[in-house]
Structure 1
């Protein structure tokens, strides 16, 4: 034998107090200000990110190599990959920050039961997610860009280091070191290899390039 279930009855609650009314008004006020506050925060982050990117690109931090081709091949490929990642992250970050600052490009959904407050509530959630992701992408872009610049500073050169030396017999010579043999330095200079006795060296220093 089964018994029928009686549905619960919904009755009116206790009357609202003055504190309840004040709390409701405060919630409505905060809900109405949420979207403008989000837009203002997104604009601030967008301007700060733009200023940071402009500073990194315009001033170049500390000037290093200006040509990636001057790096050894694996390092040059790594720098190119970092720059590509920085470009992708920067573009996505700019789009997401502008999405949070100005809203979606798609029109808001319209319906018989849709209200302005409900649409703004959904927009606040979407805009906040876009703002957080945009900040993360901007920071990632900065990290990749700094890594690429640092690699151009400390990466090995594609050309072997040049040396400038002097001896009483040969005078001043400049070239690249090919090795050592019988106490003599093998120096490639001007398309030829010169044997230079290390005991006769009066000057030896590294240079960026031979004149």
Structure 2
């Protein structure tokens, strides 16, 4: 059976394919690296814009879950990015032999090794992104401790407005802590200057 021009073209492409494997692999690694970095940037922007400002208001268990998920997630993503860079650009100082046989052997080994590494990079990226999403969801949905939720207030005066944990109302002065558990920042307003004092669920 005679081959058509299109069939012959496919045959030529098939014969050229082994010589293009390393280029295709490195292009894939570059794409995964860029995609992972872009996704992390988007998640960070969403977390900053919509995330809970102070996880100190949460129970200890929830705080540990969020911190652990963030640390492990970023560790997995950084490892994934480093592996993708290794696959995309090769090992520093690696030698490439200048004979056809040696180059062929190096290419086969590099493609096999790079394919395995890229598979791990994809798995680590997926795991890291999942952990960050879990941390964000926990930060949004985890309930605050009963004490902190009950004492959180919004204060509005003639010249200022702020929110925080109510410390005391004594001698005609309202005192509110606008800082965190680790860095308290008490602020006081005289009762006559108040225009609004409301209990809220979050700042």
Match of residue 162 from structure 1: 150
Change (3 A) 1:162 1:29: same
Larger Rg: 1
Pair 1:190-2:168 in alignment: yes
RMSD, aligned α-carbons: 3.5
Question: Post-superposition shift, 1:208?
Answer: 2.5
Match of residue 169 from structure 1: none
Change (3 A) 1:62 1:112: closer
Q: Higher mean Cα deviation, 155-164 or 124-133?
A: 155-164
2: CA distance, partners of 1:88 / 1:94: 10
Deviations 1:54-94 (Å, cap 9, x if unpaired)? 11112328613122212111110111110111121011111
Residue 80 of structure 1 is aligned with which of 49, 62, 67? Answer: 67
1: CA distance, partners of 2:79 / 2:70: 14
2: CA distance, partners of 1:90 / 1:76: 21
Map of 1:53-92 to 2, 5 A cutoff? Answer: 53-60=40-47, 63-92=50-79
Match of residue 116 from structure 1: 103
Stretches (4+) displaced over 4 A: 22-28, 109-114
2: CA distance, partners of 1:142 / 1:74: 21
2: CA distance, partners of 1:47 / 1:69: 34
Residue 36 of structure 2 is aligned with which of 34, 49, 53? Answer: 49
Match of residue 39 from structure 1: 26
Name whichever structure is richer in helix by fraction. 2
Match of residue 197 from structure 1: none
Per the normalisation by structure 2, the TM-score is 0.64
Residue 190 of structure 1: SS of its match in structure 2? strand
Residue 50 of structure 2: SS of its match in structure 1? coil
1: CA distance, partners of 2:122 / 2:102: 30
Match of residue 94 from structure 1: 81
1: CA distance, partners of 2:68 / 2:202: 28
2: CA distance, partners of 1:99 / 1:64: 33
Change (3 A) 1:121 1:189: closer
Match of residue 137 from structure 2: 150
Change (3 A) 1:209 1:136: closer
Aligned length: 157
